[in-house]
Amino acid sequence: GKVADYIPEIATVDPDQFGIALVDLKGNVFGVGDHQKPFSIQSISKVHTLTMVFKAFNSKLWTRVNVEPSGDPFNSIAQLEYEKGIPRNPFINSGALVITDALCSNFDDPLVQLTDFINELAGQTCVKINQEVMRSEKNHGERNTAMAYFLKSYKNFNNPIEEVLDVYFSQCAIEMSCVDLARSFSFLANDGYSIFANREILTESNARRVNALMLTCGFYDEAGEFAFRVGMPGKSGVGGGVAAVMPHKFSIAVWSPELNEKGNSVKAIRALELLTDKLKFSLF
């Protein structure tokens, strides 16, 4: 694979790193390799923002974002015009921008509250926003900026564009280790209840919906292949991370920076494929 280079600051990471951490429903952690090393979670943060907004909006949210796989790359703008400014799903960039816009409408201090929320999910203070990565993406953010203006032209964007983009680039620049990331996804393996936060994060049926979205849309135009090879709901990021859940069993995070042409980590997917094969775990 190849390290993502459209965000220059990310292109500087050592490509040979690999870490994996599994967290069971009792909170036991099993990890190897670079599993304690923080990395740029990028689009995996779209699951955290969706979870925050899901509660605030409930069903109204789904008039602004659809729940269909796109079959297009994560940063594609093409479908947005045919579909009149309603993004296919919350995990492609256009959909995530709508979610971050909703976050800005519903929370007074969205970035601080997002950070607090992820720390709460992980059960410890672990979230750090890498300002260099944030600025690096902002300086090369033409596509996401174009998408935000396009959404606004369809009246599917309510807050000032620069403000929302700053939050979006910052959420993408969050750094966490595999261990903390797996902990923060644990509630999705546990019917919406977080054993680290000691509370219900989403209702059981809404947690299932987030998992359904991860299964069908979490890997963009490679979602089918991930379901075929691994068989778990999960979400990737261009930092090389993948977070996934096996409902009622465990959550897991894998990281290795080199990506395939779809923008998903080659080794993370391969590792999950081997793991689910060996353990005979699959949703299906």
Q: Which residues bind ligand GLN (CB under 6 A)?
A: 42-43, 74-75, 93, 137, 144, 172, 237-238, 263
Amino acid at 180: D
> What is the Rg, in whole angstroms, of the alpha carbon atoms belonging to the chain?
17
Q: Which is nearer to ligand GLN, 176 or 197 (CB)?
A: 176
Determine contact, residues 95/65, Cβ cutoff 8 Å: yes
Phi and psi at 156, nearest 5°, equal -110, 40
Of the candidates 152, 164, 194, 220, the residue annotated as catalytic is 220
Instruction: Tell me how far, at minimum, the Cβ of 200 lies from ligand GLN, in Å.
Output: 28
Q: Which is nearer to ligand GLN, 40 or 186 (CB)?
A: 40
Q: Which is nearer to ligand GLN, 92 or 275 (CB)?
A: 92
Q: Which is nearer to ligand GLN, 43 or 89 (CB)?
A: 43
For residue 188, what are the CA distances in angstroms to 94, 146, 207?
24, 33, 6
Instruction: Tell me how far, at minimum, the Cβ of 42 lies from ligand GLN, in Å.
Output: 3
Instruction: Tell me how far, at minimum, the Cβ of 281 lies from ligand GLN, in Å.
Output: 25
| Residue 149 annotated in active site | no
Q: Which is nearer to ligand GLN, 88 or 250 (CB)?
A: 88
Of the candidates 65, 127, 230, 238, the residue annotated as catalytic is 238
| Residue 128 annotated in active site | no
Cα 76–80–83 angle (5° rounding)?
140
| Residue 32 annotated in active site | no
Cα 275 to Cα 254: distance, rounded to the nearest angstrom: 11
Instruction: Tell me how far, at minimum, the Cβ of 187 lies from ligand GLN, in Å.
Output: 22
Instruction: Tell me how far, at minimum, the Cβ of 244 lies from ligand GLN, in Å.
Output: 15
Residue 20 host element (H or E): strand 19-24
| Residue 82 annotated in active site | no
Listed as own residue / partner, the contacts of 197-206 with beta carbons closer than 8 Å and 24 or more positions apart are 197/120, 197/121, 197/123, 201/51, 201/121, 202/51, 202/54, 202/55, 206/54, 206/55
Joined together, the tokens standing for residue 142 give: 């033409």
Of the candidates 40, 43, 94, 194, the residue annotated as catalytic is 43
Dihedral sign (CA 261, 96, 112, 186): negative
Joined together, the tokens standing for residue 277 give: 């094969």
Q: Which is nearer to ligand GLN, 165 or 197 (CB)?
A: 165
Instruction: Tell me how far, at minimum, the Cβ of 284 lies from ligand GLN, in Å.
Output: 25
Dihedral sign (CA 48, 50, 51, 57): positive
Residue number of the CB atom closest to ligand GLN: 43
| Residue 168 annotated in active site | yes
Amino acid at 277: D
Of the candidates 40, 45, 46, 186, the residue annotated as catalytic is 46
Amino acid at 91: F
Which active-site residues does the annotation give?
Answer: 43, 46, 168, 220, 238
